[in-house]
Homo-oligomer: A and B are copies of this chain.
Amino acid sequence: MALEGKGGFMELLERLGLGSRRVLILHHDDLGLTHAQNGAYSALGLPTGSVMVPGAWAPAVRGADLGVHLTLTSEWQAPRLRPLTAGESLRDEAGYFPSTLEALWQRARAEEVERELRAQIEAAQRLFSPTHLDTHQGAVMRPDLAEVYLRLAQAYRLVPLIPDTLEGLGVPPPFLPELERLMAEAPFPRVRFLDPYGLPPEERLGFYLGLAHLPSGLYYLAHHSALPTPEGRALPDWATREADYFALAHPEVRRVLAEFHPLTWRAVREALKEGWR
């Protein structure tokens, strides 16, 4: 095993010489979905994010620390995404991914999910050199899909996002015990998960400035920055995406972020190198 459960997180920081530091993986979600999302990634100049491979804009993403934003749902009327593979349990009547997690979890067969996730990882490898895995909307929280996710992370040697707690992530209670067990056994570090997505846009700047008060530890902050363009604003949740973008472009927020050690999944992957089973 690479690193044992929760202990692995401290061991990892020690190995990176960051034991007493405040360490931040600042992560751009949903790249490849729209031009506006990609444009914000370029404009912000922050290296870490993950790409929705079924998205039409995926081939245009270029960056230093990109992962695969494994996709099994497509929640908007448009842009709407289709699976790469033929699995009937992964698509609605019109051939698109289901629009809700509930619909996905009711229908999805684990073997069809595995085939699709492998296809997305292998398609990503033809576009860029991925360093990590995470999932759109947390689609792999159903325990049998979490097992696939963690197994593929090892098979492809890509570090999976694993939060240090499942509280507040909207996991259906029946999933919790098995999911907790899988995560505890997974040989990967777990990160303190921060996500301002649900905050009202007008509180966004305050949220980012408030990071100044965090104690030492390994934090993972997911943001959804998108440019303020007509295409970007066609998404129903455009306001939260723009709020992330404006906050992360703000000089005061940049000053706060500069107090953290900026960690990449690439560095984590490198640190785990010896330990991949």
Which residues of A approach B to under 8 Å, CB–CB?
34-36, 38-39, 54-60, 77-82, 84, 86, 93-96, 119, 123, 126-127, 227, 229-231, 234
Contacts and interface: CB of A to CB of B under 8 A. Distances in A.
Given A56-B80, A56-B81, 20 more contacts: A35-B78, A35-B231, A35-B234, A36-B230, A38-B78, A39-B230, A54-B82, A56-B56, A56-B78, A56-B79, A58-B80, A59-B77, A59-B94, A59-B96, A94-B126, A95-B123, A95-B126, A229-B230, A229-B231, A230-B231
The quantity of this chain's copies bound in the complex is 2
Contacts of A80: 56, 58-59
A119 to B, nearest CB: 8
A36 B79 CA distance: 12
A127 B94 contact: yes
Given A34-B231, A36-B231, A231-B35, A78 B93 contact: no
Among A59, A119, A127, A231, the one with the most B-chain Cβ atoms within 10 Å of its Cβ is A231
- Nearest 4 A-B pairs (CB), nearest first? A56-B79, A60-B78, A231-B231, A35-B231
